[in-house]
Amino acid sequence: MFEFLQHLDSLHQGFWYIALGASLFFLFQTVFTFIGGHHGGDFSTDFDGNLHHDTPFQLFSLRNLINFLLGFGWGGVAFYDSIGSKTLLIIISILIGIGFVVLFFFLIIQILKLTEDNTFKAENLIGKVGEVYLTIPAKMGGKGKIQISLNGTNHELQAMTEAEENIPSSHSVRVIYIYDETLVVAKI
Query: Which CATH code fits 122-187?
Result: 2.40.50.140
- pLDDT of the residue at 120: 84
The one-character DSSP state at 185 is: E
Q: If pLDDT is split at 50, 70 and 90, which confidence band does 38 have?
A: low
Domain ranges for the chain, please list them: 3-114, 122-187
Give Dmax over CA atoms of the chain in angstroms: 93
For the segment 102-158, what is each residue's pLDDT rounded down to a tens digit? 999 898 888 877 876 778 888 999 999 999 999 999 999 999 999 999 888 899 999
DSSP 55-93: ----SS-HHHHHHHHHHHHHHHHHHTTT---HHHHHHHH
Torsion of CA 22, 108, 110, 124, to 10 degrees: 160
- pLDDT of the residue at 164: 96
